[in-house]
Structures are given as structure tokens and as C-alpha cells.
Structure 1
Amino acid sequence: MAVLPASSLFLLYVGVFLLAALACFVSVTRLHHITDADTRRGLWALLLTSGGWAAAHVGFLVSPTTALKLGWYTLGLVLGLAAVGAWLYFCSAYTGRTYHRNPTYRRLAIAVYVALVAVKITNPLHHEYFTTTAVATPFPHLSVYTGALHWTAMGLSYALAFVGYFMLLELFTQIDLDTRALFGLVGITGLPVVLDLVGYITPYLIDITYEPLGVAVFAVGVAFIYIDQFEALQLAAERDTPVIALDADNYIRDTNRAARTLFPELDGAERLSLETTLPRIADCLDSDTTILKIQQEGSTRYYRVTETPYGTVTSGLGRTIVLTDVTDRERYREELERQNERLEQFASLVSHDLRNPLSVATGRFDLLREEMALSEENDNVAAVERALDRMDDLIDQILTLAREGQPVEQWDAVLLSSIANKSWEMVETDTAELRVDDDMTFKADPVRVQRLLENLFRNALDHGAPDVTVTVGALPDRPGFYVSDDGPGIPEEDRDSVFEPEYTTRKEGTGFGLAIVAEMVTAHGWTIQVAESETGGARFEILGVESME
């Protein structure tokens, strides 16, 4: 068997590790194709630390002095340990776990890393991590003999690395897309362990860590060859979600079991076009309607169809179609639409079938009063007039309550101070005063917000003194704004009831004012609660109003 000359073998070692370093560094430029930020960040750290690790090997081999060789070797130890942390971060993020975000795990990882780095860089003091000697075979180099601390750290590193392997293995076995290519790539990252053992027990390879070579192959495979499968597997991690993977030409490349169960025509449809196999999905993607209605097992189910390109839209790597079951949401939306239709019918009934007879009754009463020369001071006349006026007010309030519950469709920028002053001008305020603190700009329906504030202002004026002070401002600690006054306030036991229709503490009140406020708040997707103001009055807090600033 032919044996390479020492000089050629030396150049081969240098060339292989240099190529691994360059492969890792060049692969970093491709990571913008990965859409998940945490996965991209983890792989970025893995490539940089592994590339630096391989480059440190090159420095160790080519440095002319022992001191420089030891410096490069120690740097490699530090970067190699950092690569383990980057590998765990990447595996956690890619498999959809949250270990990499857990503050406790982060602090523990940093503590362990700092402790092990301290052991490595202080080796010249204790020599328990490694010792060196110059040898001439298979070519002149500095041979490293590892000590007990090295094997302890190495055992911990490989144990942690296998945790990452387990996370990937679990993901690949749970997902029924074709995982063979990525299985192979992940397996390659572990093969250098064999080279490590050969180098340790035989003279055929030098005793040096070969792991950067496996990471380089993995990096090139993911970044340049299998990035579409790489993201398709991540998107398909939720096994109950149908996933269809397409190539750059819009042909079906792969599907998972959930997709084939939902669409039996996908079975054996690889390399067929989406338009031919599933024209309804293709039409859904080309239209503004992203909801697909499907009859399934005797019932109607709804799926939101979304597409995610591999990397950037312009990269031309293909895309993944994901169908998310939104049946409950769509059924709720349809029920809301039916309720809104019933509200419209009710409003029409109130507006026409009740207001018209009321108008007739009011007109006939006025004629009867004139014919009989009834005085307005007559108790019976006054009582009838109050009853007719109250009926008219109630019809107005019921109509408003029915219509203000409709979801907001027109959103515009609203300045709190401006809308508050405008609303204040529409209310009879006497000697009352309005103050605006902590202004904010938010998106809302300006007309409804104005009516909302008018009702809250009237509530403060109706229950407070003529010189009541009303304050409006942004909430300091939560998204939203408040309306408070220095009036008598609302008893705590009544605060859950004030928004119910017909709740009132005034004999002449309709009880719909605050109920209408609650409907307008709900129509915006906000919430409202009652508290006590700093002066003991009422404070209404409208929550969930996101500021535009």
C-alpha cells in the first residue's frame, strides 16, 4: 500500500482543515435564506465557531514555534467548546423547543463554559488538561497527550452534543416527509469521532480533533444543497398540520401524512404540478381568499392556506404550502355574521315598526290636547308626554346599541387629545372642566370613539357636580387610555353591572349609555374596566389600545 510522503501528508492535513474553515465561513453568507430567526442565529454561531475551530487547527499545524502552536491549540479548545453550545442552541431552535430561550439554562451554560475555559487556558499552570511532545511521524508535529480533565470535559461535551442529536432524531422520526438527506448530513457530523479514535490509538492519523470536518460538510449540505428540505421539515414539525412542499417550478416535491389524508389525490403525486393535482389550492393562493372550505367526514371544515418560500421570495428554491385548521374561528365568524344580520333586522324593526306607531301616537296626542284645550300643567298630560319622550329615547338608544356592536372595518389614526376635545364640545358641560394628560395616537374608528367619549363624559356630568373635572389620558403601564372624574364614583359592588343594558341610578336615565360604550369598545377588540380615580370618582380604563408612536 502506497504511503504519502510526510510533506504531502502535512499539506493534505492543512488543506483539509483550511477547506473546512472556508466552507463554514462561506456558508454563513447563505444563512439569510433561513426564515426562522433563532434557527438562523444558532446555525450562524455553529458555523463561525466551527470555522474558527478548523482555522485554529491550521494555525496549530503551520506555526513555526511551540509557543504559537500551543496558543492556536488552546484557541481551538475554547472555540470547540463554544461550538457545542452553538450546536445545542441550533438544535433546540430548529426542533421548535425553547431550551435556548430559558434564562436558567443560559446562565448554567455560561457558568459551565467559563469554568471549562478557565481550566483549558490555565493548563500551563497545572498540566492536567494536556501535555505535548514533538514527534516526527507521520510528519513532524506537536503531539498532544490528553489528561484526566480533558476526558472529563470531552465526555461532558459529547454528552451535550448527543442531546442535540436526540432532538433532531426525534424530529426526523416524527415527521413523515423524506428525511433521509438531512439524516445523512446530521450523521456525518458524528463520523469524525471515528477519526478521533483512530488518531488516539494508532499512528496512522495525528491525535487531533476532526469534528470541524463533519460540521463543515453539514454546513455546506444545509446552506447550499438541502436548504429547501431543511425548512420544509421545520415547517412540518406540527404533525397534524397538512404540509405540501413544492419545488421552484411549482411541482409537488413532498407531502406529509396529514396532507395525504386530507387530499387522497396527493398519494403518489410527486413531480406533478400543484395546478393539476389540487387546483382549488392553486386558485386559493392566486386569489385574495386564503380560506379553503372542505367537506370532511360529513361536516364542513375550514383551512387557512399559507405559503412560505424557502429563504427569500427571489431565491427560487421553492415553497411550502401549509394548511392550518381554522374551523372554530370561521364558525365563530359565521355565527357573528348571523348575529349581526339578526341585529340589523331588529334595528329595522325598531326603526320602522315601533317608531312609526310612536310618531302617530305623539301626533294624535298633540291634536287631542289642542282639541280638548288640555294644559301642559295637567298631571296626566305631563305623564303622557314623559312616557312618549322616554319611548323615543329608548328607541334611539336601542338602535345605537344594536349598530355599535358591529365590528370595526374602517380604521384611522386618532389623536386622543383631539378626539377628546371634539367630544367635549358636543356635550352640555356647564362649568365642568376637561383635562387631557399623557396624549397618545392610536388606530380606531374616529366616529365611534367620539361617541364613546361623549357617553363617558355625559355619565360623569350626570352623576357629578356641575363643576366636575373630567381627565383623559394614556395609561402609563399598559396599552390603552382612561377617562376619570372627581365625582361620587361607582361602588365596587356595582362595577361589574354598570355595562349591562337598563342599568341606571337615575330615574330619568335609559340605562343604555354605558352599555353602548361597552359595545363600541368590544367592536374595536378592546376591553373596558371600572376603577376608582385618584380623587375618589369613577375611572374607566380602555385596555388593548396599541399606541402608534
Structure 2
Amino acid sequence: MNLSATLLWATQATGVQTNATYLGYVLGFGIAGVVCLGAVRRAEQVEDDDVRRGLVWLLGTTSAWAFLKVAYFTFPGRAAEPVYIAGLIFGFATVWAWLYFCSAYTGRNYHRDSTLRRLGSGVFLSVVAVKVTNPVHGLYFGTARVDDPFAHVAIEHGVFHWTVTGLSYALAAMGVFMLFELYRQSGYDTRPLAVLTGLIAVPVAVDIGVLFTPVLLDVIYAPLGVAVFVVGVLYVYEREFIAVDRADGESDAAIVLNDEGRIRDYTPAAGALFPELEGAIGEPLGAVVPSVAELIERDEQILEDAQAGETRYYLTTTNRVSLGETTETVVLLSDVTRAERRRRELARHNRQLESLASAMTHELRNLLQIIDWRLAAASDRVDDGTVEHESIETAADTNERMADLVEDFTAVAKYGQTVEHVESVDLGTAARDAWRSALTDGMTLRIETDVTVEADPSRLGELFTNAFEFARHNGAETVTVSHTADGFAIEDDGRSLAGDPDRYLAYGEAVPDAESGMKLPNVDTFARVHGWSVAVEDGNDGIRIEITGVRME
């Protein structure tokens, strides 16, 4: 077929790519690619270096594979064959990424073995060479143009395809075996993880099923299974995923109880976590570690433990095991601090938004009543043939206050979540930058600091902006920014405190007045997302806002 005929056929094919089957395949693989690509950032937060590396590699190769599937269906002309070959390469790379992840996650060292790595690299490069040279020898696959169920290039698999596919399935099955062995040995309720792992095999069954039915296209469906797996382990069952990852008997804290609830044994990790376990063999758990016993009685899972000035969280599970003729209970405590902090931070942020929304609803309702009343008064004066300038100006000012409230809400919604990545920020420079964007109305800024702090620049800027605008409402002429032993202070020379200082930091209190009542709660919000604390007190002349808990250089 000449080039013009090929282009004509491709154009015609593109013209019919709107049927349901085509859209189903494109959306299915497209969503899988987007999900895997979007999960990369979440995977980068996994603490174990090797597990994180394997997950990121797995997600990257799978997303590329899925997107190449979309391109293969979308461009059924001459580009289809090279796109399909590229997909084959990424698909085979996904198998090795899967093995690397499974080895690291289950605590094995196969992914570190230099001999296995060289052997794997040799196999991978050999297979890639066969795939890339398929246009020459044609032993891997052939192509045929078809229009049913939609126009695309159908693949006719050759002997090399079945050999490599069998190898890929065997390697992937090894990884699945490693995971299920870990699930079985961990002692946790791993049924959700087992189901997610089993779902990876569903596309394999579909791959085999297409040989016996014309309903499905003869393509590899594995990216769909991987997408479901990563969503499950990284977003739905993250705490279980982390806990099982650490269930190696060495790092997990485990307490073994006999059938009477008395301590029979414990791991070194449990001894380090609860020093009171030393010499407590034979004692009731509730008498030695009451916090754990109470947690089990309340049928709760998360234990909060504060030591050395830091609070950590442990996923607590109990499993009854049979040792000979004796049935005992194993209490496992796995550190899930990162996941639990994220969950609590999300809950805190939601409560914060609810409080802000409630305060805004009340304030906006009042402002709308003011506008209605003033506009009604102006309308009456217009009917009398006079102009009520005061009412119109008041309505306009009130409208500006409503716009300010919306801006406050937008800033808190955007920046109100806990900071995960900080950088070194010059405190004086950050204050000057915020001063230029704030409504200061002729006030003077005085900088009495040259320190550098670890902060998120955007959130620190919002903190300063709200503090400066509060000072303007407070009647200040000069605002001073200085550093303290463990933070910094923002002090104005306006009015002194009027009442309980804590009310200045609460949404909905309208302290000292409705117009400025949102500013200091916003300051408190942007400080808390850094892990800092805020205190409001009388200064030398006006009000002093002191932020503590700041890491400085």
C-alpha cells in the first residue's frame, strides 16, 4: 500500500473513532495511566528507600505503558507499529519493576544481588533487541488492519511473543508469591491487601480469555490491574500496607499473651517501646501496659505514644495463634506515624475550613443586610430627588469587605494544609515582600532581624500579610518584625488588647471588630501548618504577636 492510501485509510479510521468500544479502551487505559502517574508523588513519601524506588519505577513504567496503549488505539496508521513496540518495551520493564518492588517490600535481597541484576539486565536487553528488530524478522508479531469493533491495527502474535509472555507471567507470579508469603507470615489481617494483589492477576486471565472470545481485543490488560493495586495500597489501605512492610519480627513491636491475658513474651522492639515490660513476664497486660490493654478493650487500633517530646502513632492489631495445644494472642504494634499524622492533619484542616465557613456565613449575612439597608435608604433619597452619598459609599465599602473575606477563605483553603517541604527563607526579606502586597495605608515597617527560618515561602508570606493588615485595622503607625530565641515577633504601636487574647485567634469571634476579626485567626492557621505556635499579648505600645517553635539558622 502506498503512502497516500495509508494516510487515507488512517483518516477514515480516525473519523470513526467515536464508538463506545473505542472510547472504552482509550478511557480505561488513559485513566490507568493518569492514576499511576498521579500516584508517583504519593509513592515518593514511602520511607523505605528500596520500596519507594521500586514503587516509583513500577508506577512510571506502567503509566508509560498505558499511555502508549492509548496512542496505539488513537493513531492506527503507520505510527501504530513503533508505538506498539515502545509499549512492549515499557511493559517488559514493568515486570522487572514489579520484581524489584516485591523483593524490597518483602524484605528480600534479590533486588540487591549483583549476579541477579546482571542476569536480569542481560535478559531484558536481549528481549528488547528482539522486539525492536521485529520489523526485520517478523518473529515477534505481525500486523493487520481491521475495522471491527473499531479501526485499529490488530496484532498477530508470533512464537517470540508467547515465549516472552510466558517468561513475564512467570516472573510476575514470583513477585505475587513473595507478597502472599509475607501476608501469611505477618500476623496481620491482610485480606484487603491479598484481594488487591489478586486483582493484578485478573487482567492476566483476561489476556488468556481473549484467545477464546472475539468480544475483547487481543492486547495486554496488565496496566489496569496495576492501577487498581497502587490506588488500594497507597490511598485506601495505606496503614496496613506500611505495617505489613515492617512485619519482619525485628522492627515490629509484638507482645505475646497467654489465654489468661498475661504476658508470655515480647520482641526487643516492644521492650524498647515499653520499658516497663522488663521483668513483667506472667503479669497481666493491663497492669503493665494499661494504655495497650485499654485500646484493645475499646476495640480501637491507633495507639498514641508521646516520648522524648515527640508523639508517634502505632497501628495495633491482635491475632490469635495456635502454638501446639495452646492458643495465644499476639499484639502487634507497627509505627504508622506518617499516615496517621496525614489523616489527623486532614481532619484538622476540615475542621478549620468548617469553622472559617461558619464565621464567613455569619459575617457575609451581616454585610448583605448592611448593603440592603443602605441601598434601600439611597433609593428612598433618589425618589425624593436627593442623593444619599453616605449610604452608597457604605454599601461600596461593605462590598469591598466581602471581597476581602472571599480572599481570606481562598488563601486558607489553598495554604491551610500542613507544610511537608520547607526551605530556608530570609525572615526580613519575607516580611518586606509581604509588606509590598499588603494594605498598609501609610504605616511604616521596621525590620530588626537578620535570621533565616525554615518555612514555606507562600504560607509565611500569607502570615505576614494578615498580621500587617491586622495592625492597620488596629490603628498602628509602625510595625516591627524581630526575632526571638525560638521564633519571631510582629509588634504594632496601635491599640492594646481588649479582652481575652485567645479570642483574637478564634474564627467567628470578631475581635477586636468584625472588619479585622479574620486576620489573626489566619495568622494562627498559617503558623500551625508549619508546626509553630502563636501567642497574642500586649506590647510596649500596641499588640505583639509572637510565633514560637520556629527552626532558625
TM-score per shorter chain, which class?
Answer: 0.3 to 0.5
Taking structure 1 as the reference length, the TM-score comes to 0.47
Flag the structure with larger Rg.
1
| Greater relative contact order (Cα < 8 A, sep 6+) | 1
The two structures have a TM-score, normalised by structure 2, of 0.47
